[in-house]
Chains A and B, each alone.
Chain A
Amino acid sequence: MCGIVGLLLKNPALRPRLGELMVPMLIGMTERGPDSAGLAVFTQPVAASLHKLSLYAGEHDIDWSTFLASLTAALPGQHELKRAGNHGVLTTSAAPDSVTAWIETHAAELTVLSVGRSIDLYKDIGAPADVAKRYNFANLHGTHLVGHTRMATESAVTPAHAHPFTAGRDFCLVHNGSLSNPNLVRRKLEPLGIEFETDNDTEAACRYFEWRLREGDDLQTAVRSGFEELDGFYTFLMGTDTELALVRDAFACKPAIVAETDDYVAVASEFRGLAHLPGVHGAKLFEPRPQEVYSWRI
């Protein structure tokens, strides 16, 4: 069991309140996922010459200013770091691949959680309320987000196994359910040069969809191809810089409910994650049907 939440704000006036509206959604899904929590928040993109990388230090005591100084010395360009606890968002004019390569060699205690122009990603072990407080989720602003509360069933409880998973740039996925053929998917993707970071089943789905998107599929087509390739139970919620997409497998064992108003689209595993939202009682409420792909653009 896990909890998923998603929120896309159509009304720009609400965007400074994205985090505040989302935190009760995430906490409302605590009973479904008390082990770990995380979220990806999408903001207006940084300038075309820049990228953002979400960095996670875990238990390591990082001297962030030394890290930034060494990075600046090694890779010329503009680098800015915004910190929240053991987490930092680096905005950089250097090529993201050279930054991640430099981090792997020179700051191996840091994990790169996400890369893109819009995405910031936070995930950690602990109760959703604690994780939300640790990273000050209530103060986040942006256009849309994808969040998750985890009750681990198939792999370890570690920050790396928490959701959302990311692949490529400005793409993330959260999952309620379990896949029975993640290793098959992995064996298909690894020869294509796609590297995995964990043994988690959800990571296989995330990397599979991101691969399809890179191959030119739109999100709808990519998700539909997953009906053939991914075996198991799932409600997936995916985020890109411009879109949220939601899909349930043919058996639809894993719940989801959507509330849509003129101001927002909100997704949660259960209504109790949505009950606090303004105007939710007048919202269009529905359960996503099996194997139907729902998507909303900002």
Chain B
Amino acid sequence: MAHLKQFDLAVTTLREVNHYLHKQMVADGVQSVSILNPDGAHSLACGMNAPADIEIDGHVGYYVAGMNKYASVTVNGNAGPGAAENMMSGFVRVRGFASTSAAASARGGCMVIEGDASTRCGISLKGADIVVGGDVGSFSGFMAQAGRMVICGDAGDALGDSLYEAVIYVRGKVKSLGADAQYETMADADRASVAELLGVAGFKHDPAEFRRIASARKLYHWNADANQEY
């Protein structure tokens, strides 16, 4: 079938696979690519710039689907650090857990992590949506500027530290909020956002169980009298 292509990283090099995805896939009219035996390879399906379904069977290393644009990448396994880092658009799903800095700095698109996300999930988020089925580690949402983060489990220390205009919705316990992050009342629009993102992820929770965390905006302006206490 011309529209489906399969690679086995046990026999094909990572460079050949990524080269195909970047340079040949569109010309071949391929819309669906399956990749076997990633065995922790780095930068797999990184820099995608075309709409295609990429399915990876196994665990991947650093930067899977980094800088993704248009593509839908599914990892049937765990992801290493920096999964979907700086994603521009498209969709990335990790069925296992994701290591540190998942969707860091992502500008658009949506990332779903079905398991836990480690520390610094969504750090410096710039507009993408993130849905985490499990827990997130410390410093998640640090300096997140725009976008939405839905956390179905618990959060570690310093959630949303130095937040700008991104909004975090969390269902479980929060070990601590970061500087300038605060709980806010859930409005109808918030419940609609959570319902929409849970629907995209395929998670069945009641949006009413989530709390909204956003910036108190006290760090927007330097306050010399604050004596570094926020």
A residues adjacent to B (C-beta < 8 A): 250-253, 255, 270-276, 281, 285-287, 289-290
Instruction: Classify the interface of chain A: helix, strand, loop or mixed.
Output: loop
Chain B residues 188-208 with CB under 8 Å of chain A are none
Q: Size range of the interface on B? A: 20 to 34
Contact B138 A290 (CB under 8 A): yes
Task: Assess whether B58 is interfacial by the CB under 8 Å rule.
Answer: yes
Q: Which residue of A lies closest to B81 (CB)?
A: A255
Identify A281's interface contact among B58, B80, B118, CB under 8 A. Answer: B58
Contact A252 B118 (CB under 8 A): yes
Contact A287 B97 (CB under 8 A): yes
Question: Which residues of chain A are within 8 angstroms of B60 by Cβ–Cβ distance?
Answer: 271
Identify A253's interface contact among B40, B59, B100, CB under 8 A. Answer: B100
Question: Which residues of chain A are within 8 angstroms of B100 by Cβ–Cβ distance?
Answer: 252-253, 255
Write out, one digit per residue, whether chain B residues 161-182 have a CB within 8 A of any chain A CB (1) or not (0): 0000000000000000000000
Identify B40's interface contact among A275, A286, A287, A289, CB under 8 A. Answer: A275
Report the minimal beta-carbon distance from A250 to chain B, rounded to whole angstroms: 8
Contact A287 B118 (CB under 8 A): yes
Given the known inter-chain contacts A255-B80, A255-B100, please indicate yes or no for A289 contacting B39, CB distance below 8 A: no
Q: Offer 23 A-B interface pairs, CB within 8 angstroms, sorted by A.
A: A252-B100, A252-B118, A253-B100, A255-B100, A270-B40, A270-B62, A271-B39, A271-B40, A271-B60, A271-B61, A271-B80, A272-B39, A272-B41, A273-B40, A275-B39, A276-B39, A281-B58, A285-B59, A285-B78, A287-B97, A289-B137, A290-B138, A290-B156
Given the known inter-chain contacts A272-B61, A275-B39, A290-B138, please indicate yes or no for A255 contacting B99, CB distance below 8 A: yes
Task: Assess whether B124 is interfacial by the CB under 8 Å rule.
Answer: no
Chain B residues 78-106 with CB under 8 Å of chain A are 78, 80-81, 96-97, 99-100
A102 CA / B60 CA spacing, docked (Å): 51
A289 CA / B100 CA spacing, docked (Å): 11
Write out, one digit per residue, whether chain B residues 42-77 have a CB within 8 A of any chain A CB (1) or not (0): 000000000000000011111000000000000000
A273 CA / B39 CA spacing, docked (Å): 9
Task: Assess whether B140 is interfacial by the CB under 8 Å rule.
Answer: no
A171 CA / B230 CA spacing, docked (Å): 44
Identify which of B39, B118, B137 gathers the most chain A CB atoms within 10 Å of its CB: B39
Question: Which residues of chain B are within 8 angstroms of A289 by Cβ–Cβ distance?
Answer: 137
Task: Assess whether B119 is interfacial by the CB under 8 Å rule.
Answer: yes
Contact B78 A252 (CB under 8 A): no
Contact A271 B59 (CB under 8 A): yes
Question: Which residues of chain B are within 8 angstroms of A285 by Cβ–Cβ distance?
Answer: 59, 78, 96
